[in-house]
Amino acid sequence: MTEKRRTNKSQQSVERIFIRNLLASALVICMVGGGVLWYRSQAAGPADDRMQAETAAAAVTVAEEETSAAEAASTASTAAAEADTAATAATAVPAVPLAEIPIDFKTLHETCPDAYAWIRIPDTNIDYPVCQMVEGDQLFYLYHRPDKTDEFAGSIYSENYNKRDFSDPVTVLYGHDMSNGSMFQNLHFYEGRDFFDNNKNVTVYTPDKVLHYRVFAAYNTSDDHLLLNNDNFRDPEVFEAFEKDILAGNFYSGYVNEDAPLDRNSKILTLSTCNAYDDQRYLVQCLLVESEDGVYTPEEAGETEE
């Protein structure tokens, strides 16, 4: 009995020793593992800090570079816009002032509905409205005033073979050679060489244009209908041949500036009146040299009356 008790105590003692050793080993392992973990955390910490610092510095650098690029782009855009503005200002064409039209066409049309233009020649009495019958008798204004009342002296007029905008190669205006000096009688002033050489300007006003012409020929010729005989000069070759005939002096008598710059694009205004012969006409011809956009501006002395 006593031996059995001794054996049990011995076994318990061995078990306790084993458990203590096991706990001690576990404690050592934990200490060693904890030390390793502590060492690693200490060793890794500074590297992570350096990486974070480097990353932050790189981010700041990128942000600064992006800001600089944006500022540079903005500066370049502003410079380009300023350059474009300067270039536009340098090449901009200043507005051309409208020419003065001293004729009140609105009031004129109230009494003279067929008046579509006005002709003036300095140093003559020629200062009249120009009429045209759109339909009907094309000789109506030969013996009627612009207000359509009967009058032997008639009016200055064109026929509907011509457009009213003076864009045809040749536009013909007709007027009587009145003994009192009215209508187109003063065209005969151009029979004098001195007057021909020194009175070149002819002005035609329309409701929105001022047309400036230069006289280049004045002569006696046949009374053939200038437009109908040449099919209204629709063929450029016919028109050029007509111009060459004028410059060559192929007419009965008169004057011509042989160096007048005529070509197939010229616009010729022909003023036609009678002369001393029933089978002839006296023509004064003018070359369009300038067309200006215009606006009605009343004359200081009042509007010109017929």
| Higher per-residue confidence, 70 vs 265 | 265
Contacts of 99 (CB under 8 A, 6+ apart): 210, 292, 293, 294, 295
121 and 179, same domain (yes or no): yes
Asked, for residue 306, whether it belongs to a domain, the answer is: no
State the Cα–Cα distance between residues 274 and 228, nearest whole angstrom: 18
Asked, for residue 305, whether it belongs to a domain, the answer is: no
Give the per-residue pLDDT at 299.
80
Give the per-residue pLDDT at 1.
44
128 and 34, same domain (yes or no): no
Contact status, residue 134 vs residue 114, Cβ threshold 8 Å: yes
Asked, for residue 69, whether it belongs to a domain, the answer is: yes
State the Cα–Cα distance between residues 171 and 159, nearest whole angstrom: 9
267 and 176, same domain (yes or no): yes
Written as six digits, the tokens of 99 are 């020419």
Q: How many domains does the chain have?
A: 2
Give the per-residue pLDDT at 262.
98
261 and 146, same domain (yes or no): yes
Asked, for residue 211, whether it belongs to a domain, the answer is: yes
pLDDT digits (tens, 9 = 90+) for 210-264: 999 999 999 999 999 999 999 999 999 999 999 999 999 999 999 999 999 999 9
Asked, for residue 301, whether it belongs to a domain, the answer is: no
Q: Is 86 helix (H, G, I), strand (E, B) or coil?
A: helix
Asked, for residue 24, whether it belongs to a domain, the answer is: yes
Tell me how far CA of residue 297 lies from CA of 104, 209, 304, in angstroms.
Answer: 8, 12, 12
State the Cα–Cα distance between residues 219 and 237, nearest whole angstrom: 23
State the Cα–Cα distance between residues 250 and 1, nearest whole angstrom: 173
Give the per-residue pLDDT at 95.
79
Alpha carbon 57 to its chain centroid, in Å, reads 58
Q: How confident is the model at residue 87 (pLDDT cuts 50, 70, 90)?
A: low
Q: Residues 32-36: what's their mean pLDDT?
A: 44
- Whether 32 has a pLDDT exceeding 50, the answer reads no
Q: Residues 188-192: what's their mean pLDDT?
A: 98
Could you list the residue range(s) of the whole structural domain that residue 33 is in? 1-92
44 and 145, same domain (yes or no): no
Q: What φ, ψ does residue 119 adopt, rounded to 5°?
A: -115, 140
77 and 169, same domain (yes or no): no
Mean pLDDT of the chain: 81
Q: Where does residue 5 fall: left (phi above 0), alpha (psi -120 to 50 degrees), or beta otherwise?
A: alpha
- Whether 36 has a pLDDT exceeding 60, the answer reads no
78 and 213, same domain (yes or no): no
Q: Residues 153-159: what's their mean pLDDT?
A: 98
266 and 125, same domain (yes or no): yes
79 and 117, same domain (yes or no): no
120 and 195, same domain (yes or no): yes
Asked, for residue 174, whether it belongs to a domain, the answer is: yes
- Whether 62 has a pLDDT exceeding 50, the answer reads no
| Higher per-residue confidence, 82 vs 15 | 82
Q: How confident is the model at residue 83 (pLDDT cuts 50, 70, 90)?
A: low
End of a domain among 70, 92, 114? Answer: 92
End of a domain among 69, 92, 115? Answer: 92
pLDDT digits (tens, 9 = 90+) for 92-142: 666 789 999 999 999 999 999 999 999 999 999 999 999 999 999 999 999
- Whether 45 has a pLDDT exceeding 80, the answer reads no
Q: What φ, ψ does residue 171 adopt, rounded to 5°?
A: -110, 130
End of a domain among 43, 62, 92? Answer: 92
Q: How confident is the model at residue 208 (pLDDT cuts 50, 70, 90)?
A: very high
DSSP letter for 262, please: -
88 and 177, same domain (yes or no): no
154 and 265, same domain (yes or no): yes
Convert 50-88 to b/e letters by CB count within 10 Å (16 or more is b): eeeeeeeeeeeeeeeeeeeeeeeeeeeeeeeeeeeeeee
Q: What percent of the chain has pLDDT over 70?
A: 67
Domain with 240 in it: what CATH number? 2.40.260.10
Asked, for residue 304, whether it belongs to a domain, the answer is: no
